[in-house]
Structure 1
């Protein structure tokens, strides 16, 4: 007879043993000037490690220079490795593990700041990508697939314990999954099996590159939150294929499209005024005039992705990481009761990096996060909770 796991007990994730089942979810930090690790980035992840997470996730490590959402993001290359090693050493010194989120932003990439075209399944006009996206060629797809494998090897060299492959939010692999975005007529478009090739091949390339030296997880969209996009019926099938492929040790279940509907992931109020203030002109004016048509507001509730995630739990044996509005011990225990192996937290830990340590001492410790989402625009200046006084 199986017993419900204790969220603060050690747990296996592939070849890795974490000190507990709580993962600091990837939140782009905005602390990587010149696409290199900064002291601020190290301090950010050290604080979460010291605060009690089992593993913290560095977000996000692009696999190629054109795969960045802005020019100062890290992309995995030899010059970045010494700083990444300092970061992993700092996290390990606090007793936590550390994962590198690797991916290619595809149509979400900032072609203007990258000075390279954004790549998508099909040619399209894309304001978020700052212009036209170019349809990725077969050679582009092969190069980006290999780049994921190379990034994973760089992660090992830098001391990371895991990599998280980005298969969500209509980034490169996710955009191929979406029937709304992917209009290709070749072997990467049309039927779901074709649209899933990029995601499956990327995961296979990473697994073949790392073997069992580190854990391999994937951030995976359950649905895009847009009409005609990737939806639960198809995502359940792709998740089943990934499980059968044996390429990932766990899936972190997410939702929404950074390209078309970003607030579908976050829920709660959309901080339009703060986003506008953080943007240069003419984007500031664009958000002021039309932001409400892009940044929708959704009601916030604790564990708001749980209903969808239950369908994956019922269909899969693969370990699953529950994400989305987790900020209390009761919700963590509920996730364990329902068969999820791990939980991922973000906003609550931005407000209180030491929340888990205090929660272990007193399970009734409340989170002070009010889910105002005003932390979201701070990615442009250094991600933080706006309610915490500057030190």
Structure 2
């Protein structure tokens, strides 16, 4: 059987997408008061008008202590109207919109948020220089309910897809990782116990929304640090979610925002630029030898998670989104031939918002992103490509 065309329509659960391309969640840095802004809408309109099938709004927190920092959106009555305005704007282009639903756990900056961060187990926070406390039973019940109310709010706002964040050492991921979860209660120990929170949240959200929207999960195909989620454990989680029937697809990611962020991004490590964007004490640490320990260098190569992702493809029948170094139309077509249903792109469409339309029309064969990763430190001032020049991108009408 011939592989499907990556630019052909696709049905993700109950949602029809105009093609199989996804704008991956990349923190936008455009919500200074925790509210949707015109700048945030414009950020998502650019790839939507540029042909992407599904654009993903990053890091929509389910609770105040679940933000990475105070400028992040907490989904609730105060943010619902703005989120609806954002969804309406994206829909007008013919694209669909996903909300990345999550709780930052140990990645949260408790000092910025004004609320102590929580995680599977207590640990020091490199961001706030505070202690992160162990999540209690009461916390986990409250947070699970918060996922449910967040899901309902996003459905009411017109979102088409809910992406449950289960990777990058966020709260759910901190439970999955044996190096971060040292609990001796029912939430710790073997992998089945460490996966309980992930399954509980997915089940609660699915029971709330039914088939009104698609539900997906971002899972790790390898965290890249000792004690992180391994490929085998990621596959184990994928099998559990498939058996539970709670998600419509998985997005395969990797790395840890807390322990090894460059494992996800690959390419140049922008240590100097990150140091300039950080508070003084963190700036000092970034300029010391610790900086190279945190921001390690991994050579960029196209489709760098392919080998690990193929193991997931062999293990589960769930639809899978291929992510990691997708810049070339040949890579996208190879992903289809490998049996993946969708491809997710981040930096490539940040550099060229209309890349998908130009690839689909044959006017381009690959993106021009150089993977310098200097976009990463701009998350604190409005995520953008620092190499981008307006003359490089020609706006085109988005396909219907």
Alignment of 1:183-262 (within 5 A): 183-262=182-261
SS in 1 for 2:193: helix
Alignment of 1:341-380 (within 5 A): 341-362=341-362, 364-380=364-380
Q: Is the 8 A contact 1:118 1:133 kept in 2?
A: yes
Partner residue, 2:315? 315
Partner residue, 2:153? 154
SS in 2 for 1:34: coil
Partner residue, 2:394? none
Q: Is the 8 A contact 2:112 2:128 kept in 1?
A: no
SS in 1 for 2:252: strand
Partner residue, 1:104? 103
Measure the CA separation in 1 of the matches of 2:368 and 2:190: 46
Partner residue, 2:282? 283
Partner residue, 1:296? 296
Partner residue, 1:116? 115
Alignment of 1:10-159 (within 5 A): 10-159=9-158
Measure the CA separation in 1 of the matches of 2:191 and 2:248: 23
Aligned pairs, how many?
Answer: 390
1:270-326 Cα shifts (integer Å, max 9, x gaps): 100110111121221111112111110101000001110000000110000000000
1:130 Cα deviation (Å)?
Answer: 3.5
1:127-151 Cα shifts (integer Å, max 9, x gaps): 1353211000011011111111111
1:389 Cα deviation (Å)?
Answer: 3.8
1:262 Cα deviation (Å)?
Answer: 0.7
Measure the CA separation in 2 of the matches of 1:108 and 1:262: 11
Pair 1:337-2:325 in alignment: no
Measure the CA separation in 2 of the matches of 1:248 and 1:336: 21
Higher deviation after alignment, 280-289 or 307-316: 280-289
Higher deviation after alignment, 218-227 or 381-390: 381-390
1:219 Cα deviation (Å)?
Answer: 0.6
Measure the CA separation in 2 of the matches of 1:193 and 1:363: 48
1:363 Cα deviation (Å)?
Answer: 6.3
1:388 Cα deviation (Å)?
Answer: 1.5
1:237-261 Cα shifts (integer Å, max 9, x gaps): 1110100000000000011111111
1:364 Cα deviation (Å)?
Answer: 4.6
Measure the CA separation in 1 of the matches of 2:98 and 2:201: 17
1:138-196 Cα shifts (integer Å, max 9, x gaps): 11011111111111101011110011000000100000000000000000000111100
Q: Is the 8 A contact 1:329 1:363 kept in 2?
A: no
Structure 1: which 5+ runs fail to align? none
Measure the CA separation in 1 of the matches of 2:106 and 2:300: 28
1:328 Cα deviation (Å)?
Answer: 0.8
1:362 Cα deviation (Å)?
Answer: 0.8
Q: Is the 8 A contact 1:108 1:129 kept in 2?
A: no
1:190-226 Cα shifts (integer Å, max 9, x gaps): 0111100000001001101100000001110112111
Q: Which runs of 4+ in 1 moved over 4 A?
A: none
Partner residue, 2:397? none
TM-score normalised according to structure 2 size: 0.96
Measure the CA separation in 2 of the matches of 1:238 and 1:58: 24
Structure 2: which 5+ runs fail to align? 392-400
Give the aligned CA root-mean-square deviation in angstroms: 1.1
